[in-house]
Structure 1
Amino acid sequence: MREFGYQRAHDVPGAVALLGADPDARFLGGGTNLVDLMKAGVERPTRLVDVRELPLDRVEPAPGGGLRIGATVTNSDLAAHPEVRRRYPALTQALLAGASGQLRNMATVGGNLLQRTRCGYFTDPAKACNKRVPGSGCPAIEGEHHNHAILGGSEQCVAVHPSDMGVALTAFDAVVSYEAADGPGELPLAEFYLPVGDTPHQETALPPGALITGVTLPPAPAHALSRYRKVRERASYAFAIGSVAAALGVEDGVVREVRLAFGAVASRPWRAREAERALTGGPASAEAFAAAADTELAAARPLPGNGYKVTLMRNLVVAVLTDLTEEATR
């Protein structure tokens, strides 16, 4: 591992200033992803700026009835928070599915959103990777890609974003707050991650050196139930090969409100807007759920080794929405 400096930040402006003075520095939260990448030689920061002691570790009511989640809240604390469990159960389920208890105790909300792809070519410095070394190529397209993107990829990159939490937050229309050198700002999570295009190394719309300070959840959808379901290749903690976060409101057999987001199918959590439009105002039936999923997945461009994900996601949408419909009518 390359030698690096370490400095603990005592306030948000000071943390941002430290990174501004050293563009090769990195913020350190729980370190569950960053430190692993440093050990592999993928990340080589000159300095780590520890932000764990900043006053960003609370979950509080937000104006209008939502919740404000500080960036250093741990995944364990967020999953166990009574208001999250009561009003946003899909978020609790996503957090619990995302990692072991030991990792959840360390991992932070801000760090979870900024974790890097787990593509084997990205994490191996001996291999080419456009995300790690722009212009070097994407060997996954012709090589091992069974868990890579079927939506939103490009010839430059087909990696998928690994966050479970981010999928649930996307379904709930979360907004990311940050502090940059020129002041505070906000980004809807739907705009937080950049499309891959020709610049896969540019992953988020955060200004350079910006620090995530929190995430705001709007009020939960009225009368809607929510659920997160994750499919993985082994029953123990593993990255998803497909996941769905859904919130569904049904009245008299008709879909009144629906939110859908997919995980492990794109470089960012994928909000299924086409499926939502197809479902709203229509029957809450397995046939309608399947047709809506097909509408969303019509844009899929699978590679030879990951076409199974199209069928997987279709079946997953039907299963999750059917379960929510049955729960709503009990």
Structure 2
Amino acid sequence: MKEFAYRRATDVFGALALLDADPGARFLAGGTNLVDLMKTGVERPGSLVDVRELPLDRVESTPDGGLRIGATVTNSDLAVHPEVRRRYPALTQAVLAGASGQLRNMATVGGNLLQRTRCAYFADITRPCNKRVPGSGCPAIEGEHHNHAVLGASGHCVATHPSDMGVALTAFDAVVHYESAGGPGEVPIADLYLPVGDTPHRETALPPGALITAVTLPPAPFAANSHYRKVRERASYAFAIGSVAAALDVRDGVVHDVRLAFGAVASRPWRARTAEQALIGEPAGEAAFRAAADAELAAARPLPHNRYKVPLMSNLVVAVLGRLTGNAQESEESVR
């Protein structure tokens, strides 16, 4: 690991000042992703600015009935918070599915959203990678890509975003708040991650040197009827090969409102707006769920070894929405 300096910030503006004084510095919270990348040489910061002890570790109700989640709230604390469990159960389920208890105790909300892809070519500095070295190529396209993107990818990058938490936050229209040298700002999580295009190394819309301070969830009464389901290649903790976060409002047997987001299929958590629009006003049943999922997945452009993700995601949508309508047995059978 490259030698680096270490500084501990005591307030937000002090943290920004420390980063501004050293353009090669990086913010450090739990370190569950950054430190790993430093060990492999992918990240080589000259110094780390520790923000773990900043006063950003609370979950609070907002005046409009939503929630404000501080950026240094740990994944463990977020998952067990009673208001999160009551109002946004899919978020609790996503966090608990994301990692072991030891990692959840260290990892933070802000850091989770900014974690880098787990693509093996990105993590191996002996191999080319457009995300690491722009213009060097994307060997995953012709190489190992069984767990790579089927939506929103490009000829420059087919990596996926690994966050489970981000999928649930995307379904719930979360807003990310930050501080930067230019002042405070906010960005809807749907706009936080930039399209891959020909610049996969540019991952977020945050200004340079920005520090995430909080995430807010707008009020959504029907979010209490939500669920997150993750499929992985082994029963123990692993990154998803596909996941769905959904919230459903059914009235008189008809879909009145719905939120859907997919994970492990794109370079960012994928908001399934085409599927949502297809479901509104339709009978809440397997036929409508399947048709909506297939409408969303019509845009999929799978590679030879990840074509399985298209039927997998269709089955997951049917399973999760079936669970939310009470057809648990039917939904379990549909994902097989």
Counterpart code for 1:203: E
Counterpart code for 1:57: D
- The equivalent of 1:109 in structure 2 is 109
Say if 2:7 is the partner of 1:4: no
- The equivalent of 1:325 in structure 2 is 325
- Describe how 1:148-297 pairs up with structure 2 within 5 A: 148-222=148-222, 225-297=225-297
Counterpart code for 2:90: A
- Confirm or deny: 8 A CA contact 1:224 1:249 kept in the other structure: no
CA shift at 1:227, angstroms? 0.1
Say if 2:99 is the partner of 1:99: yes
In structure 1, what is the Cα distance between the partners aligned to 2:300 and 2:105?
36
Counterpart code for 1:212: I
- The equivalent of 1:56 in structure 2 is 56
- Confirm or deny: 8 A CA contact 1:227 1:320 kept in the other structure: yes
CA shift at 1:327, angstroms? 6.8
- The equivalent of 1:141 in structure 2 is 141
- Confirm or deny: 8 A CA contact 1:224 1:257 kept in the other structure: no
In structure 2, what is the Cα distance between the partners aligned to 1:141 and 1:48?
34
User: Number of residue pairs matched?
Assistant: 328
- Confirm or deny: 8 A CA contact 1:162 1:240 kept in the other structure: yes
Counterpart code for 1:140: A
In structure 2, what is the Cα distance between the partners aligned to 1:106 and 1:307?
35
- Confirm or deny: 8 A CA contact 1:221 1:247 kept in the other structure: no
Distance 1:129-1:188 versus aligned 2 partners, 3 A rule: same
C-alpha distance after superposition, 1:167-226 (max 9, x if no partner): 000000000000000110000000000000000000000000000000000112437510
Distance 1:110-1:145 versus aligned 2 partners, 3 A rule: same
Counterpart code for 1:229: R
Query: Taking structure 2 as the reference length, what is the TM-score of the superposition?
Result: 0.96
12-21 vs 137-146, which deviates more? 12-21
CA shift at 1:144, angstroms? 0.1
CA RMSD after TM alignment? 1.0
In structure 2, what is the Cα distance between the partners aligned to 1:139 and 1:70?
38
In structure 2, what is the Cα distance between the partners aligned to 1:51 and 1:193?
22
Q: Which runs of 4+ in 1 moved over 3 A?
A: 221-224
In structure 2, what is the Cα distance between the partners aligned to 1:271 and 1:103?
26
- Confirm or deny: 8 A CA contact 2:74 2:109 kept in the other structure: yes
In structure 2, what is the Cα distance between the partners aligned to 1:16 and 1:156?
32
Query: Taking structure 1 as the reference length, what is the TM-score of the superposition?
Result: 0.98
- The equivalent of 2:13 in structure 1 is 13
CA shift at 1:17, angstroms? 1.3
In structure 2, what is the Cα distance between the partners aligned to 1:321 and 1:61?
28
297-306 vs 20-29, which deviates more? 20-29
- Confirm or deny: 8 A CA contact 1:256 1:281 kept in the other structure: yes
Percent of matched pairs sharing the same residue? 81
Find the residue that maps to 1:326 and give its secondary structure: coil
Counterpart code for 2:262: F
Residue ranges of structure 2 left out of the alignment (5+ in a row)? 329-336
CA shift at 1:22, angstroms? 1.3
Counterpart code for 1:156: H
- The equivalent of 1:85 in structure 2 is 85
In structure 2, what is the Cα distance between the partners aligned to 1:223 and 1:49?
36
C-alpha distance after superposition, 1:282-330 (max 9, x if no partner): 11010100000000000000000000000000000000001101179xx
- The equivalent of 2:314 in structure 1 is 314
CA shift at 1:14, angstroms? 0.9
In structure 2, what is the Cα distance between the partners aligned to 1:259 and 1:294?
16
- Confirm or deny: 8 A CA contact 2:167 2:262 kept in the other structure: yes
Find the residue that maps to 1:255 and give its secondary structure: strand
